[in-house]
Amino acid sequence: MDNISERVRMARHLNEQGLSKTNIASDLGVHRTTVHRWLNDAECGKRKRKSKLDPYRDYIRSRLRDYNLPGSVVLREIQELGYTGRITILRDFMLTVKSGYIQKVVDRFETDPGRQGQIDWGDCGYIMVGGIPRKLNLFLIVLGYSRYMWGEFTTTTRRPELMRLLEKGFLDIGGVPREVIVDNMKQAIDIARSQSSPAVVNSDFLEFGSWYGFKTVACPPYWPQAKGKVERGIF
């Protein structure tokens, strides 16, 4: 087998069959490092091939920056822009992009002492009160730096109850964080954060925060990782 290209093709074929580089080198009469170079060059060649997805990568990144969209939605959008490829390559690319954004969101919420507290409600089923079934909820505050967790069960999630629980929590914790991180809970947020505009905080809750000296920060929609500390406490 004197033709080098034939030996390269044979090396790749044997590699796909599961043979080790040492065995391939022995069969072809070459050094193991030569086989390694041939196979590595083949992988580089595959990576350098153009993809039908290439013209749409920036668009996909922009769509996933604030929203954890499913592949079917993104596929439909880029098909309208002219994409003719399969969803499998799209899903692989989306997984890479989402992993990067998730890490950025998580890093953004790693804070200094006293800076941040995350809050949320947890659904705990029902409890009988005076013979009447009432929905039971768990309210949690988790401090961003220490992960200190404070919670209390309650049968209502109305705004006055949220404020009462925050007051009690601040007193028990021994201080007020500079930022309180929420999702788009209706007790605190009137208009949810979108790609083009920030969240609109309820005026009563905004005044409550001003009185206690904390800023209300709405985390990105559909990114529970941004509030992962309190999410872990609930689930």
Instruction: Give the whole-angstrom CA distance, residue 199 versus residue 197.
Output: 7
**How many other CB atoms are found less than 10 A from the CB of residue 2?**
5
pLDDT at residue number 177: 93
Task: Spell out the alpha helix ranges (H) of the chain.
Answer: 4-16, 21-28, 32-48, 57-64, 71-80, 87-108, 159-173, 203-212, 228-234
pLDDT at residue number 105: 52
pLDDT at residue number 230: 45
Query: For residue 102, which of 194, 227, 233, 223 has the smallest C-alpha distance?
Result: 223
pLDDT at residue number 102: 56
> Please, what are the averages of pLDDT over each run of 10 residues along the chain (235 residues)?
67 78 80 79 55 90 78 92 90 80 54 83 88 92 87 94 96 92 88 74 94 87 50 46
